[in-house]
Amino acid sequence: MCTTGHKLELIRRTTYFCSVMVFGTVRVLEDNRERRTATEKLAVKYALRDSLEHHAQAIHQVWKPLCILEMTIAPLSGRKAIEIV
């Protein structure tokens, strides 16, 4: 039984936790329009301050090897420690 280590030290400091479990199906987006739409939405969300032109350039640079996955979520469950709620 392990009684020392980084993870155990973190647990000793706090027992607060948040966790999420997701089940579902994943598919590869193969249609170029779907891939482009998804990529543009991600660019706007995560690079909001960049211009649309910069988004287009960045997408163009990685387009050929880019693989976009879409997950359809079935059941979803989450938990929080009572101290967080």
The model's pLDDT over 40-85, given as tens digits with 9 standing for 90+, comes to 999 999 998 899 999 999 999 999 999 999 999 998 898 887 776 5
Structural contact between residues 70 and 29, judged by C-beta atoms closer than 8 angstroms: yes
Average pLDDT over residues 24-38: 96
Rounded distance, CA 61 to CA 43, Å?
13
- According to the model, what pLDDT value does residue 63 have? 95
Report if residue 53 sits inside a domain: yes
Kindly state whether residue 10 falls inside one of the protein's structural domains: yes
Residue 47 in any domain: the answer is yes
Residue 57 maps to a domain: yes
The number of beta carbons lying within 10 Å of the beta carbon of residue 40 is 14
pLDDT at 1: 58
Residue 85 lies in a domain: no
Residue 80 counted as domain residue: no
**Is position 20 within any domain?**
yes
Q: What are phi and psi of 33, to 5 degrees?
A: -65, -45
More confident residue, 82 or 30: 30
User: Can you list the positions of beta strands (E) in the chain?
Assistant: 18-28, 69-80
pTM (2 d.p.) = 0.63
Residue 14 pLDDT: 66
